Amino acid sequence: MAERLILHIDMDCFFAAVEQRDNPELRGKPVIVGGLSSRGVVSTASYEARKYGVHSAMPMALAKRKCPQGIFLTGNYPQYKAVSAQIFEIMSRFSPLVEPLSIDEGFLDITGMERFIKGNPRNYGMKLKQAVLKETGLIASVGIAPNKFLAKLASDLEKPDGLVIIRQEDIQRILWPLPIARIWGVGKKTEERLAAFGYRYIGDIARAGKDVLQKQVGERLARHLVELANGKDDRPVEPVRDAQSIGKETTFEENLQSRQEVEQHLLYLSAQVGWRLRRSGKNAHTVQIKIRLGDFSTYTRQKTLSDAICYDEDIFKEAKALFRAFSLPYGSGIRLLGVSCSGFDAPSEISLFEMENKQKKERLYTAIDKIKARFGEDKIAHLGESRVLKKINASLDGSEARH
């Protein structure tokens, strides 16, 4: 494959950074965004909070113990989505080939953009970072490399405010000293399996080579690991990968026997699905549960909602109601449970527009409520739709009200 140039961009502590941008009093403070209920988890934490060991996916109760002085917020997801759309619009000006990876990160194929790069990818990365900062007030980290694996790794190496270039000749120096968990696709289980053979660093894998490794972990995994450990990755940048549904299911080693166990697991699945929805910037209208009984009979139940949802609690509420409404012939217990969401809102232009309307509406009602509080409830009716509302609407549009 001809040499490519891939850029990966990822915003620094995205949700928390948006909060700090919009609320100056939060700047320099440990800000933690996430579910605030007793079962909530941390979505993200500002770098000030990370110093206390708070990180994404940590139970909120633990985060509160680790950082009692933290400022805890539920966050404003529509706002994050709007900022995300703005960032992707900027990315699209830097390459015709953009692959969104999550709400705050994406790949850009910048191969052949030498004309604009003037032989220097670093300048290009810097220009993108500057455009994002200037237009959104937020800081991004950027990595540039010959492929996706290395580019994503590079953007993370000097976070926050990173800009790292990895070239073919840097692979041994930069890649090999890193722990194997940094290889794309290596989770906890694979890491432990490899550790049992004495592999800890990426260089260990590269040095062992495919022949040795495949006897230990099989041909497929060995090929994957050795290629990545040598900095090779041919995956293309794919502009849109639009899933029709996002779901998660579990098959249990021992069948679930009680409603309590089922509901507990539905909560877990809802949180996983919610997280995936939010990561991909989606809102869903339909929630479905799937149940397989001990005798392998399988059932699905679904509900479509007029308001699209993406939060764990909302998904769980629907999943639980679907489960409760479904009188199960328990018998041999439940072997598999699944939760999925579909019926996504139309792509960002439309939802952005809707969101602006919604925000406008929220501001409008805040303004109305203030007037009501000041002059009494009946006054707003007296003043009538005509003047007051027009005035408020006009001021929200940024133009003067005319009479």
Using rule CB under 6 A, residue 12 touches ligand TTP? yes
Side-chain-side CA neighbours of 85 within 13 Å: the count stands at: 16
DSSP for 50-87, written as a single string: HTTT--TT-BHHHHHHH-TTPEEE---HHHHHHHHHHH
Closest separation between CB of residue 382 and Mg ion, Å? 50
Q: Which two tokens stand for residue 377?
A: 């409830």
One-letter amino acid for residue 286 of the chain: T
Using rule CB under 6 A, residue 132 touches ligand TTP? no
Using rule CB under 5 A, residue 109 touches Mg ion? no
Using rule CB under 6 A, residue 159 touches ligand TTP? yes
380: helix, coil or strand?
A: helix
Site for ligand TTP in 14-73 (CB under 6 A): 14-15, 43-44, 56-57
Q: Which two tokens stand for residue 1?
A: 């494959």
- Answer whether 46's CB lies under 8 Å from 17's CB: yes
Closest separation between CB of residue 50 and ligand TTP, Å? 8
Cα-based distances in Å from 143 to 11, 47, 72? 12, 20, 31
Tell me the residue length of the chain: 403
In the numeric block, the tokens 């405010």 are attached to 161
- Sequence-distant (≥ 6) Cβ neighbours of residue 351 within 8 angstroms: 81, 283, 345
Using rule CB under 6 A, residue 104 touches ligand TTP? yes
Using rule CB under 5 A, residue 104 touches Mg ion? yes
By a kind-dependent CB cut-off of 5 to 8 A, residue 159 interacts, out of ligand TTP, Mg ion, none, with ligand TTP
Using rule CB under 5 A, residue 225 touches Mg ion? no
Query: Is 105 noted as a catalytic residue in this protein?
Result: yes
Closest separation between CB of residue 209 and ligand TTP, Å? 33
Closest separation between CB of residue 15 and ligand TTP, Å? 4
Using rule CB under 6 A, residue 133 touches ligand TTP? no
Which listed residue (8, 10, 72, 145) binds Mg ion by CB under 5 A? Answer: 10
By a kind-dependent CB cut-off of 5 to 8 A, residue 15 interacts, out of Mg ion, ligand TTP, none, with ligand TTP
Q: Which residues are catalytic?
A: 105
